[in-house]
Every structure is written in C-alpha cells, then in structure tokens.
Amino acid sequence: DDDPVQLKLVRLILANAGYRVVTAADGREALRVARRERPDAILSDVLMPGLDGFDLCLAVRRDPDLAHIPVVLITSHYLEEEDRRLARRAGANEFLCRPTGYDRAPESIARSIEIGAPPLPGEDASALKAAHVHRLSEQLERQLAANAGISRRCSLQAAQLALMQGLCHSLAVRSDFESALGDILASCLDSAGISRGAVSIRSGRAAGIFHAVGLRGTDAARLEALLSAEGMPAEVAGATSHVAIPDERTPPAWGRALLDLLGVERALLVPLDAGGERIGFLVLASSTTDLRADDARQFAELLAGHISQAILFVRMISRLTLSEARYRGIVEATREGIWTFDEAGRTTFVNARMAAMLDLPLEQVQGMRVVDLLSEDDRAAAEHWLARNEAGASEAREFRIRRPDGSELFVLVSANPVLDEAGRYRGGLAVVSDLTEHKRIQAQLMMSDRMVSVGTLAAGVVHEINNPLTVAVGNLDLVWRTLSTRAAEGGLDPSLAEVLPELSDAREATQRIRQIVRDLRIFARTEVHETRVSVVESAR
C-alpha cells in the first residue's frame, strides 16, 4: 500500500491474527520482496502509482516462481461489479472493500491459502489490458472529480476561516468595521469563486447596501430599491432560509429584474437575522458557480451567519460604548466623589472629583488602600467600617482625608458592598461628600448662635440696669440742681455746700454708666431711648 497509515493499520491487524508480515510501499517493491521472501499470500491495495494492484496480480500470475501465491486485493475506490470481474480476470483470489475489508482480511487470506491461487488467465492480454485501462480511466476521472470537489470545499473552508479571522481581527483592532467587512466579503467571495455579492441592511422599510462587490454605484442604488420593503416580494422578505433565484416560489418578474441587474443567471439570497430580528439579506451571484450546490449553499449560510453575528456584536459594542460614555459623563460631572475598591480595600477607580479631594493624580490613586489615604486618627474606625461593608452593611460615616500637603478634608463616605453573580463580596462602591465647607459654616453658625445668646443676655442686663439708672440719674440731677441754685442765692447750709463736688462726681459717674448702657444696647441691637429729666421748681 502506498498509504503509510493504511499500511501500518493492516500490518497490525494481520500480526494480531498470527501472521508474520512483510510490507512494501508499492507494486514494484512488492514483486521484489515476494521474489526474495516467497510469502504464503499477498494482500495488496488496488490504486497505487506505477504498478497498481491489478498489474501486480497479473505479474505474480505470469511469474513461474510466484504463480502459486494467492493474491487478495483490497480497495476504497474500485467498488463496482465490473471492478470485481476485472480482479478475477487478473487472477485475484478475493476482492475486499474498505473499511469492512480490514476485519475480513485475515479470514480471506487464510481461505485463499487453503484454496490456492487460481490458474493463469487464459484470455488475450490486450483485451485484459484494455479493460484495465478503461477501469483505470474511469477511476481517475472519478478521482479528479472528487479532488475538484475537495479542492472547492477546501477553498470554501479557507474562505470561511479567512472570514472568521478577518472579523475577529477587525473587531479587535480596527475601528472602521464597515471598511473591514467590505474587504473580508470581497476576499471570501473571490475564494469561493463567486463574482458578485452584496450585504443589504434594513433601516425601517428602506434597504441600504452596506457593502457591494462587483457592482457599480448605480447598480447598488437599483438593488436597494429591489430589496426594500416595498420592492421585495413578501415570500422572499419572510423567508426563513436561503432563496435561490430563479425559483418557482418567487415572482418571475422580480427574479428576472434581480438577475438582469446582477448580470448573471443564478443568484442566492440568504436572510441576515440577529437577536430574533431580520436585519437584511446577503446577496450572492455567479455565472460559473452553481449556487444551488450543497457546499455553496452551506458556505452562503455560514457567511450570512457570521456577518449577522458580527453586525449584532458591533451594534452591541456601539450601545455599550455609548452607555459607558453616558455613565462616565455622569460620574465625572457629579460634584460628589466616586470611589470603588476591591475586597482587600485597594482602590480600583476614582473619578476626577475624588482625585481632587485626595489632591493626587488619578493614576497614583489606583491600587492604594482606602485606609492609607485617611487621617491616622480615623484608620482604626475605617478598618472596622470596611469589615462592616464586607459583611454586607451599607453605612455612611465621617472621616478625615489626609492630603499630601498635610491639610485635612472632612468627608462623609456612604458605601455599599459590591457582589458578583454568586453573591461573593468583590469590594465596595462609595459616594464621598466634602464636608469641609459645611463644617466651617457650621462652626460660624455656632459662634453666631453664641453671639446672639450674649446679645440677648446683654439686652436683658441693659434693661435691668437702665430702669434704676434712670431713677438714679434723675434724682442726682434734681438734687444737684436744687443745691446749686440755693448755693447761688446764698441760702444753702455750709455743710450741704461741701457735698456739691461729690454730687457732681456722682453725676459724671452715672453719665458714664449711661454711656456703657447705650453701647450694650447697640451690641444687643435694641432701640436706644434717650431719657431726659425735666425739673420743675415749685414756688415756696
């Protein structure tokens, strides 16, 4: 056998059956080995280069030293009854077909050894040779057709692999997905031997040509009209699988218009479905490739499936990107700090506001422990707070942030635990509010409240002092005026005249007290009432 794998397999089967086996890679080598080893039987493949199984069997029968050796032929390709007759005419004992022939080989060899070789063929050698050539020609044609099919399938597989690789690459590294998909589509169609193709994407009731290969701009515009909701027949628009054109299920006029536009005799339309939604069609056209063949149809459906998934994936990525940008904008625009940390308390994200509170660059905050960024006096409380967060508690606590310049920031940290799908703790999300200005205003309000209290007290004291002070001022002024008048008239007792200076000092003292009371009234923001004393002298 010229196939080393088959040769090794049969050798193991025969060895396990108790035979001593000598192998040969082709018919000519087999003749040399047989003349040297003189085997009890020969088992040979039929289809081999140089000297095939039929020729080997004839050569053995015509060799006087080997003619008695039985020959069993085995094949994977010569499977018709005419091949069996040719094997008998060439002098073969038995004719086995793979793969079942492997199991029957030991039994066939044993039976052939027991019966012995058939007699030398008596028919004309030229007739036998002609029959051999005829069967060989048919087999070679069959092999060529099979090889062509295999080659085509390999091309289609290569195109599919190129498609998947190109899509993965474009999704991973290329931002221009439309251009990438156009290049990939052209490459795949070229590999599959398909001359024209287009990807039509629905947008409402209109159809837009996403990509076109082998079509001019005006043809693409006409194709959009044929594939729109108004232009496409309902039986094509609602198809759940591929639609071959021409087809008796589709209106002939529409099918002919499509084929004339594409300039071909055959076309294939494959629905593009993504997420349970019909998003468009893949259109393939060829004048040389039979698009109705299974391999072409499978290629088209696979290509459509990959394109649908790629478009769906790109749309999902686009929505996620927009969503991420929207929420990132919200996070960055908020006046509150956003702080996330992992299960070990290490920072995983802070927004710009939080970084400004910490007075540290964003990249420097990454990986730092939350506790290490707080005031030393608050760290023990922060460790307990993190432990409570890990236990599932959502708490808000005040802490002080220690900044690089030594200043402290009073903040309120409201944290919630973050859990994964299995309910395991994966860290926390905290909203941080700057309380520093609030604390300052609060302190000012407290001082203001104290001053109001003092003012209220002062107003009360002024009121309590002012009443007796008014009496004292009035009486002192009355006495001083009376005594002064009498002293001027000379009718004042000398002992009383001696107290006039003391009365004058007392009057000045009471005026000073009155000024202090006025000042207290201003501090207490009470109305200042000027008290005037009127002295009425009575005639004596």
State mean pLDDT over 169-196: 63
Report DSSP state, residue 65.
T
Cα gap 371→387, rounded to integer Å: 12
**Cβ neighbours of 68 (radius 10 Å):** 12
Do 359 and 403 contact (CB within 8 A), yes or no?
yes
Do 194 and 211 contact (CB within 8 A), yes or no?
no
pLDDT of residue 277: 81
Q: Is the pLDDT of residue 28 over 50?
A: yes
Which of 162-176, 320-334, 443-457, 496-510 has the least mean pLDDT?
162-176
pLDDT of residue 540: 34
pLDDT single digits (tens) 471-480:
888 888 888 8
Looking at this protein, which amino acid is placed at residue 433? S
pLDDT of residue 456: 76
Determine phi and psi for 330, rounding to 5 degrees: -65, -45
pLDDT greater at residue 107 or residue 436: 107
Determine phi and psi for 118, rounding to 5 degrees: -70, 165
pLDDT of residue 170: 56
pLDDT single digits (tens) 394-415:
888 889 998 888 888 889 999 8
pLDDT of residue 166: 60
Q: What is the pLDDT confidence band of residue 145, given thresholds at 50, 70 and 90? A: low
Q: Is the pLDDT of residue 71 over 90?
A: yes
pLDDT of residue 528: 47
Strand partners, 401: 374, 409
pLDDT single digits (tens) 245-286:
887 778 888 888 888 888 888 888 888 887 778 888 888 888
Tokens of 63: 């060799």
Q: How far is CA 118 from the centre of its chain?
A: 72
Q: Which residues fall within 8 angstroms of residue 14, CB to CB, at 6 or more apart?
A: 21, 43, 105, 106, 109
Report DSSP state, residue 118.
P
CA distances from 286 to 134, 264, 296 (A): 35, 6, 11
